[in-house]
Amino acid sequence: MARVTVEDCLRQVENRFALVHLAVRRVLQLRKGAAPLIDAPKNKEVVVALREIAAGKVRPDNILELEGLDELSLEAPPKRTAGSSAAEIQEVLEEAAQADPASEGEVQVVDEDSVAEDADEE
């Protein structure tokens, strides 16, 4: 199967920022057991999510439906620990950066400690 590119995904999503948020949300769904919407048995969750976005099967307007959420459940989200969800998101972003070597240098994952150290130095 051909490689999925950022340009393929951007045909379906407004901008790179929205693409990253959509992809992260879909990867987390897949990791929690959601069924893939495309046939990609040997791909990792990041690649599956990007392929689904490029195919137009996952969009900003249907991502909540894929989670099985309705507007009422958005008012009272389940309680999570801040560290675990941040760690999951950071892991997904790191995998996405490694999965597409063509975008190397475009995405930089920064942890809170290094940002605080940089601010202290200034």
The closest of 18, 28, 30 to 84, measured between CA atoms, is 28
Which residues, other chains included, contact 45 with Cβ-Cβ below 8 Å and sequence gap of 6+? Answer: 27, 30, 31, 92
What pLDDT is attached to residue 15? 92
38-93 pLDDT, tens digit each: 998 888 999 999 999 999 999 988 888 887 754 444 445 555 555 667 778 888 77
Query: Whole-model pTM above 0.85?
Result: no
91-109 pLDDT, tens digit each: 877 877 776 555 544 545 5
pLDDT (average), residues 1-27? 88
CATH topology of domain 6-121: Eukaryotic RPB6 RNA polymerase subunit (3.90.940)
Q: Any idea where the domains of the chain sit in the sequence?
A: 6-121
